[in-house]
Structure 1
Amino acid sequence: MASMLQEHFTLLNGVEIPKIGFGTWLIEDNNKAAEAVQEAIKTGYRHIDTAEAYGNEVGVGEGVRSSGVDRKKIFVTTKLRAEYKDYEGAQRAIEESLEKLDLGYIDLMIIHSPKPWAKFGEEEHFFEGNLEAWKALEEAHAAGKIRAIGVSNFEQVDLQNIIDNSETVPAVDQVLAHIGNTPFELIDYARQRNILVEAYSPFGHGDMLRNADIQEIAERNKVSITQLAVRYLLQLDLLPLPKASSAEHMKQNADVDFVINDEDMSQLRAITKQQYSAANKKFPVYQA
């Protein structure tokens, strides 16, 4: 298990990022976030993903500081709120994240969405606002406050806007990606531009676990569905961000030192149109 948690991707600016991250979405209590982060680090994770919008940056920072592991060995990602589409607001938000995390610097900070969440399904792409937010991130990066900057939920047109109108290419695009919903065209576009694609909700927010076809392939490989899901993403050169509520599941999700053969990978790639449960459709990213 430990070997995969010790492996890294290299971002386009030379910064190394662990190949598997630990997600903290929906851990809204700071004490619980601190405990989860401590447990993840104890398990071997060295990449922690949070966001301003999660409301747990204070807890995540506390978990990292109290882990007993050198800060420099932990890679911490946070996200600029999707609603900040102005330079001054983005500047303030960056400083607030630095203060709440209290880790000296942020390893990676990304724009959470090209659109405010209330307008996520609308046509407007907020190109100018994203460029203003990006400028604030670029300046914080140049000042040494952030080691790398990127985006999340950006489509090709949103990425191209940043590439065409700024000095810095996003290091990552963090997107919804899992078996049954893999944005192959976006992944290819990003790869051609040396943008690493990170995959959040690698288990389809739980809905994927009920897929009989995926279950059959997991059984054939003698692994759990969650292990198969993480390995699938790694074999596509994506960076998975699994969540787990127990130490046992944290360990299992990272115990992926096996190889899915070409035939099974082809079958997994061909699974499409993941249906999300009504409970999950309250979140904008699952409404498509």
Structure 2
Amino acid sequence: MKKEFNLLANGVKIPSIGFGTYKLGENEKAVNTLKHALEVGYRHIDTAAFYGTEEAVGMAIKESNVKREDIFLATKLWNDCHGYENAMNAFKESTKKMGVDYLDLYLIHWPNELNADTWRALEDLYTEGKVKAIGVCNFKIGHLEELKKTAKIMPMTNQIEIHPGCTQKDMIEYCKENNIQLVAWSPIMRGKILTEPIMIELSKKYNKTIPQITLRWHIQNGIIPIPKSSNEGRIKENFNVFDFEISKEDMLKIDSLNKNENVSGVPENTNYLKY
């Protein structure tokens, strides 16, 4: 039951739950929140240039009692840094802000017409050993198929919005077939899941919180959720999802909540979502 790691296509271990940092901030409170997450047991930290949290992440890692090599650190290249040289510079800037000399995972944050050039930079960073794995975010099947035409190495991860209200079954199947690990942002639907009668029922049945049930649903589907919270109690609760298992029947009940509903918008300057 306790499966704390998944394996990427290249054999790299990735923790099966991560800690998200979107809107966490860049202050002392953010650093302390991240240190608490590491103390609780999170080893997968997800940040991005756009989040404005890279410096806080770097400081938390430095001040924590956890060794850098025991942390799976992921960050993302923003929309204004596409193209080979821009991507290389963005990588240098992110690692400088975090005070690290390598990343465990580097991602394209949103698809762009320069996907191929940007991806070539990520491939070079990977072959040079500066990143242990490379991936993308918010890519649809069409974007991935287009990237196949030029890529020497396919993305090892695709981070997208997945939750019971948007189950993304087609993408799950595609990524399984192509050995791409799915990572879920907004896994708890930004709190909208909390009022679903089915989830309330299952929470009572398993004696777990609704977020715990939801995160466990992701993990049993082979998806890595990256919940975010600044509340110490919830941070600990969200990590405590390895001591129970949801039955197949109840997994299907959760699946039935799918409405193909996105709870988050697309950045205004991202218009390359034609697929």
Provide the TM-score with structure 2 as the length reference.
Answer: 0.92
Q: Is the 8 A contact 2:24 2:230 kept in 1?
A: no
2:257 counterpart residue number: 271
Q: Deviations over 1:141-189 (max 9, x none)?
A: 1222111100001000111122221101101000100112110100110
Distance in 1 separating the partners of 2:235 and 2:255: 25
Q: Deviations over 1:95-134 (max 9, x none)?
A: 101111112211101001114xxxxxxxxxx2xx011111
- Following superposition, the deviation at residue 274 of structure 1 comes to 6.5
2:55 counterpart residue number: 58
Matched, 1:71 2:53: no
CA RMSD of aligned residues (A): 1.7
2:153 counterpart residue number: 168
1:224 counterpart residue number: 209
Matched, 1:109 2:113: no
1:158 counterpart residue number: 143
Local SS of the residue matching 1:151: strand
Local SS of the residue matching 2:80: coil
Local SS of the residue matching 2:182: strand
Correspondence for 1:234 among 219, 236, 243 = 219
Distance 1:178 1:86, change over 3 A: same
Q: Deviations over 1:180-216 (max 9, x none)?
A: 2110100110111110000111110112212222222
Distance in 2 separating the partners of 1:189 and 1:22: 25
Distance 1:12 1:268, change over 3 A: same
Correspondence for 2:185 among 197, 200, 217 = 200
- Following superposition, the deviation at residue 39 of structure 1 comes to 0.6
- Between 130-139 and 214-223, report the one with greater CA deviation: 214-223
Correspondence for 1:43 among 36, 40, 44 = 40
Q: Deviations over 1:239-258 (max 9, x none)?
A: 01011212211111111121
Matched, 1:189 2:171: no
Local SS of the residue matching 2:133: strand
Correspondence for 1:16 among 13, 17, 21 = 13
Amino acid at match of 2:78: R
1:147 counterpart residue number: 132
Unaligned runs of 5+ in 2: 268-275
Return structure 1 stretches of 4+ with deviation > 6 angstroms.
none
Distance in 2 separating the partners of 1:148 and 1:62: 23
Q: Deviations over 1:46-76 (max 9, x none)?
A: 1100000001101101101111111100110
- Between 183-192 and 202-211, report the one with greater CA deviation: 202-211
Q: Is the 8 A contact 1:57 1:100 kept in 2?
A: yes
Identity of aligned residues (%): 36
1:260 counterpart residue number: 246
Of the two structures, which has the highest relative contact order with CA contacts closer than 8 Å and spacing of 6 or more?
2
Unaligned runs of 5+ in 1: 116-125
Distance in 2 separating the partners of 1:9 and 1:163: 23
Q: Is the 8 A contact 2:168 2:260 kept in 1?
A: no
Amino acid at match of 1:91: M
